[in-house]
Amino acid sequence: MGDRPPRFVVLLVPKRDPKTKGRFMTDVLSLLTSMAWALCATGIVWYCLNVAQQITYVTLADGRQQERKIPIIFRLLLPFAPNLDHLATRPAFAKSRVTADRKLVAAGFEGLLSGKEFLALKLLMPVICGAFWLALLHLVSVLNPQSEMAKNMSFAFLLGLALFYYFPLLWLRRVLRARHTAIQRALPFVLDLLTLSVEAGMDFMSALQRNCERRKLDALNEELIRMMREIQVGIPRRTALRNMAQRVDLGDLRSVAHALIQADELGVSIGAILRIQSDQMRARRFDRAEKLANEAPVKMLGPLMLCIFPAVFIILLGPILQQTLKTLF
């Protein structure tokens, strides 16, 4: 038998196209980038949901906890506030910090939000929220380049920065006004109850304690409880009344506190002082109601001119204009 010649197997390996290899790497990088963005978005959503479920409380003078609602954007940014302590504590911001502290105490957020943290929020809002706003504007300009927002992107960005900067101030003004309004509404009724209790033979502290125990926990009751605790720990009643007037920073409550201080100094009957103050508070409340009623027509004029009058003009003048145009053309 002769030797067989060796067999050779030839494997044909297709040559890879460099363009195909580059396209494959691009697809892999795009996939990894998408996964990274998805993970970041999931983490942000989880953090926002976790913060949104948290309930913020303040501890009252009697140990009870009262809920205080803080905007979710503030709760999201508060963990980053300590990073700006070196800016918020500068002498240039001293006046703003003291003013913010005073307004936060008057609004009932003492111990929950300080003036330093409030200034840090004012600085963080335009930076962080402005970055998200810029990304949203860029996305809108990419998806719809012909939109008005895309054409006026710079103006929209600056307007957003201004709104983000002034949002904490607007929120603080709103909560402070709401708390002052609640105290003004409850003050005449509390003075009536204190007057009846004092005239029935109870001393001022017993009447105050009875009123605080039987009324629901509102803004005025919180301040009265704190004043009563200060008196119980040894602070003079005049000083406690003066502290409450300075803390709340409300004209009606300051008037009542000063009247009680004068009655304590001069030895005048507290029942008579309370009766006079109650009548004055009720008269002021009626005056404020009349003022708001007189301002209502002026405030309604704007919506009437913007919403109702144009529709009326279209209904009345529309057929006339249509007939005129047909006649002319």
| Domain map (residue ranges) of the chain | 182-287
Q: What is the reported pLDDT for 172?
A: 92
Q: What is the reported pLDDT for 18?
A: 56
Instruction: List Cβ neighbours of 273 (8 Å cut-off, separation of 6 or more).
Output: 259, 260, 262, 263
Q: What is the reported pLDDT for 57?
A: 67
Distance CA 60, CA 228 (A): 12
Residue 44, Cβ neighbours under 10 Å: how many? 11
- Taking the alpha carbons of 292, 297, 300, 301 in that order, is the dihedral positive or negative? negative
Q: What is the reported pLDDT for 26?
A: 74
| Backbone φ/ψ region at 14: left (φ over 0), alpha (ψ -120 to 50), beta | beta
Instruction: List Cβ neighbours of 124 (8 Å cut-off, separation of 6 or more).
Output: 77, 80, 81, 84
Q: What is the reported pLDDT for 189?
A: 87
Q: At the topology level of CATH, where does 182-287 sit?
A: Receptor-associated Protein (1.20.81)
- The greatest distance separating any two alpha carbons of the chain, rounded to the nearest whole angstrom, comes to 142
Q: What is the reported pLDDT for 298?
A: 76
Q: Along the 329 residues of the chain, how does pLDDT read in single tens digits?
A: 455 555 545 544 455 555 565 676 777 777 777 787 778 777 777 766 666 556 576 777 767 777 788 888 888 888 888 888 788 788 888 888 889 899 998 988 888 888 888 988 888 888 888 888 888 887 877 777 777 766 777 888 888 888 988 999 999 999 999 999 999 888 888 888 888 888 888 888 888 888 888 888 888 888 888 888 888 888 888 899 999 999 998 888 888 888 888 888 887 778 888 888 888 888 888 888 888 788 777 777 777 777 777 777 777 777 777 777 777 76
Report which of 267, 270, 266 is spatially closest to residue 256, judged by C-alpha positions: 270
Q: What is the reported pLDDT for 275?
A: 85
Q: Answer whether 78's CB lies under 8 Å from 116's CB.
A: no
Q: Which amino acid is at 95?
A: K
Q: What is the reported pLDDT for 11?
A: 47
DSSP string covering 26-61:
HHHHHHHHHHHHHHHHHHHHHHHHHHHT---EEE-T
Distance CA 232, CA 62 (A): 11
Q: What is the reported pLDDT for 173?
A: 93
Q: What is the reported pLDDT for 51?
A: 62
Specify which residues 57 forms β-bridges with. 67
